[in-house]
Amino acid sequence: MTADDITPPESMLEAHPETAYFWGAVAGAGTLTESCVTVTMSDEAAAETLAVIGGGEQPSHEVRERAYAHDTSITRREDEYTVQVFGDLATRAGAAFGLPMDDSAGGYRLDALAAHDRQLLRGLVEACGTVCFKSSAGTVGLSFVHEDRALLATVQSLLDGLAVATPYEEPAESSSGYYFSVDDEAVPALGAWLYEGSADSGLYAPSRRRKLRRSLDQATAVDASLPEVDAP
């Protein structure tokens, strides 16, 4: 399924799989002003999906150089695809979901979307999560990185409510604000749960899913995998 196959929800403020994925991505990698919702993703297909869901403009593209969160001496070039949705949606969503607007802090009332926690967390993981293969240990790591510690606390609260046991470390400071890591032993089961059914819904970033799948395939200390449903 592609972005063209997705039907936008009638209301962006009601709980649907599409809105949960959209607002998870916005919370993790977006900003709200009085007249615009802006969200930036590293995956073009995911950005196109968000544009369809939110009724926004087609994504703009640029390449930026970023420092790694754990080692600022190392940088990488990264594609960025930005979607903007103009109108009063930002104001209404800020009030409904407690998202930060302009210079005001957010309360992150994302529990309103928790009925679709899989899609909500998938949006958050793809927006502000980092997956890596740890060759020395033969495991897969998952960290969440964000400038707002309150958002990370919200992510941890969502993880606490999952049927999949997902222990994690406490947040620490990083060059990008704050981060916390999920215990390596919990990442395979969480990853498999996170992307279950994603191919049928189209609500996922193909490049991020591929990276997780390849990391799981490389790992020798885990017993989990994802089916290969998207092109390499």
Give me the pLDDT at residue 137, please.
74
Contact call for residues 27 and 110 (beta carbons, < 8 A): yes
What single letter denotes the amino acid at residue 158?
L
Report the pLDDT averaged over residues 15-34: 97
Written as six digits, the tokens of 197 are 């059914």
- Read off the tokens for 202: 């189209």
Residue 51's SS3 state is helix
pLDDT digits (tens, 9 = 90+) for 143-182: 999 999 999 999 999 999 999 999 999 999 988 899 999 9
Please check whether residue 34 is in contact with residue 102, taking contact to mean a CB–CB distance below 8 angstroms: yes
> Using alpha carbons only, what angle is made at residue 130 by residues 163 and 189, rounded to the nearest 5 degrees?
25
pLDDT exceeds 60 at position 108: yes
Alpha carbon of residue 113 to chain centroid: 14
Coil/strand/helix, residue 194: helix
Decide: helix, strand or coil at residue 31.
strand
pLDDT band at 71 (very low <50, low <70, confident <90, very high): low
pLDDT for residue 89 is more than 90: yes
Tell me the HSE value of 137 on the side-chain side, using a 13 A CA sphere. Answer: 11
- Alpha-carbon gap, residue 39 to 161, rounded angstroms: 26
Residue type, 127: A
pTM above 0.85, yes or no: yes
Domain 3-218 has CATH 3.10.28.10: yes
44-62 b/e (C-beta count within 10 Å ≥ 16 → b)? bbbbbbbbbbbebeebeee
184 vs 219: CA distance, rounded Å? 11
Q: Are 123 and 140 in contact (CB under 8 A)?
A: no
Q: Cβ of 83: how many Cβ atoms within 10 Å?
A: 27
User: Are 56 and 50 a contacting pair, CB within 8 Å?
Assistant: yes
- Scan for tokens 């940088």, then name that residue: 75
Domain ranges of the chain: 3-218
The percentage of the chain sitting over the pLDDT mark of 70, rounded to a whole number, equals 90
CA distance linking residue 129 with residue 164, whole number of Å: 18
